[in-house]
Amino acid sequence: MISITTKSPYAVKALVELGKTGGTEPVPIGELARRRDIPVQFLEQLFAVLRRGGILKSQRGVKGGYSFAKDPSTITVLEIVELLDGPLGRDAEGIFADAAASARSVLEQTSIADVVERERRDAGAAMYYI
């Protein structure tokens, strides 16, 4: 069936926030959680999975935190969803298999860098000047 839990949207939000900082220097998880209003303990669990999956790397210490282990333009939203929620549409049949295939296609074609750019564009569109 098609199943995306709250894990994936929260993880994508946090990864986008990390991407907005440049993603090369470690960012404390507490800072990412605060900026996106995500419970720190929950985000720690998600980032542990993403670190084991090769998406993130962590650095301990005063200047510690998380950074991308690979370029955000190569990380697809589908990759995040499937790391956290399992294969999308795994047991879907009939019309639900078609829906899952469509969802997979959209998520597979969208990178974390694409979502960062989309947020920046949307934020710029909301600004107005007097």
67 has which bridge partners?
57
- Is the pLDDT assigned to residue 56 strictly greater than 60? yes
Round to whole Å and give the CA distance between 46 and 23: 17
Expressed as residue numbers, the domain containing 73 is 7-126
Round to whole Å and give the CA distance between 61 and 107: 35
Is 48 within a domain? yes
Is 35 within a domain? yes
Q: Determine what percent of the chain is predicted with pLDDT higher than 70.
A: 94
Is 2 within a domain? no
Q: What is the pLDDT of residue 62?
A: 85
CATH number for 99: 1.10.10.10
Segment 76-105 shows an average pLDDT of 94
Is 54 within a domain? yes
Segment 102-120 shows an average pLDDT of 96
Is 102 within a domain? yes
